[in-house]
């Protein structure tokens, strides 16, 4: 029985890390895409494209229809990861670099764990909370230092809002995945949002397509296919198998990977401070995992 629990936890972490690797490209891809598209269109279009693909997935691979209660919880997932996180990050990336925004992702594990307590009745140990809070405090301190003021920029505030709604969507989706299945959760959430997202895609459709570069179209394609759909197949399965609060800490690997993408794809400056904070936060997540 104990070996079975260990195997489930290990599998959960493997699925979770696979999801994190896919998600790590989201902010750099969004940064590229938002140079050609408005945040409103980018949010709607990525959800609409993924939503159409989700319909095919459900029709061909699933016969499981969510209950009324599950549809209510899917609506929360939809507001968190289909609408809220994409919109707030796109707004943030109009004024801050993706390298700067990626550091805020280090707050996601704590936020996810908090919602896991309220939405999934998980009970991490006091030691877990100490390390999770320490990691988040390091991120906040770094952000205030980099801004050279005891205040947050508009882009920072958007990123904090993005983290809050995403943490809720992760916790809700992770809990639902235990009964509904990981990929079904994101597919149904996308289908719920599809009618509205199609309308907004048309409303905010760009006036001059000729001015949009191939790289900006590629950014839209990445966030639509990978960030909005495929990544969640792995991520929600990982949360369901290994525990939401525990596997949620795998997100602390995302700054490392994301900063690499930002440097290579966007030639953005990755400061020594960003690397130091990322290393320190990853040490915190290692300890948080130990005591989860």
- List pLDDT tens digits, range 196-214: 999 999 999 998 888 899 9
Q: What is the pLDDT of residues 233-244, one digit of tens each?
A: 999 999 888 888
Give pLDDT, residue 289: 66
Number of domains in the chain: 1
The predicted structure's pLDDT at residue 146: 67
The number of beta carbons lying within 10 Å of the beta carbon of residue 17 is 19
Domain boundaries, position 34: 2-291
Top pLDDT among 152 and 3 is at 152
Residue matched to tokens 């958007």: 158
pLDDT at 256 exceeding the cut of 80: no
Residues 6+ apart with CB under 8 A from 77: 169, 172, 173, 176, 185, 186, 189
Cβ partners under 8 Å of residue 112, min gap 6: 166, 167, 170, 171, 244, 245, 248, 251
What band does 76 get if pLDDT is binned at 50, 70 and 90? Answer: very high
Compute the average pLDDT of residues 226-237: 93
Four-residue CA torsion sign, 16, 243, 4, 182? negative
- Rounded average pLDDT over 110-125: 80
Cα 81 off chain centre by: 7
- Answer yes or no: is pLDDT of 71 > 70: yes
Q: Check whether 2 has a pLDDT greater than 60.
A: no
């Amino acid at each position: 029985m104990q070996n079975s629990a260990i195997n489930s936890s290990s599998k959960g972490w493997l699925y979770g890390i696979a999801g994190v690797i896919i998600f790590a490209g989201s902010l750099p891809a969004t940064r590229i895409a938002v140079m050609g598209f408005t945040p409103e269109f980018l949010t709607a279009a990525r959800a609409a494209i993924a939503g159409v693909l989700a319909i095919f997935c459900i029709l061909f691979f699933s016969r499981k229809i969510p209950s009324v209660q599950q549809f209510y919880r899917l609506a929360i997932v939809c507001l968190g990861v289909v609408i809220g996180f994409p919109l707030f990050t796109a707004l943030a990336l109009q004024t801050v670099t993706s390298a700067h925004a990626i550091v805020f992702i280090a707050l996601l594990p704590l936020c996810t764990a908090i919602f896991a307590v309220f939405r999934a009745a998980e009970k991490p140990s006091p030691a877990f909370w100490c390390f999770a809070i320490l990691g988040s405090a390091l991120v906040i301190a770094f952000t205030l230092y980099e801004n050279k003021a005891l205040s947050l920029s508009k882009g920072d505030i958007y990123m904090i809002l993005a983290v809050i709604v995403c943490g809720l969507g992760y916790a809700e989706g992770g809990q639902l995945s235990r009964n509904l299945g990981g990929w079904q959760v994101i597919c149904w959430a996308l289908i719920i949002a599809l009618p509205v997202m199609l309308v907004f895609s048309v409303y905010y459709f760009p006036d001059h397509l000729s001015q949009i570069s191939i790289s900006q179209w590629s950014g839209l394609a990445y966030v639509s296919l990978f960030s909005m759909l495929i990544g969640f197949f792995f991520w929600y399965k990982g949360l369901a198998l290994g525990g939401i609060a525990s596997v949620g800490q795998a997100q602390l690997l995302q700054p490392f990977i994301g900063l690499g993408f930002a440097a290579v794809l966007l030639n953005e400056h990755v400061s020594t401070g960003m690397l130091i904070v990322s290393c320190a936060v990853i040490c915190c997540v290692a300890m948080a995992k130990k005591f989860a």
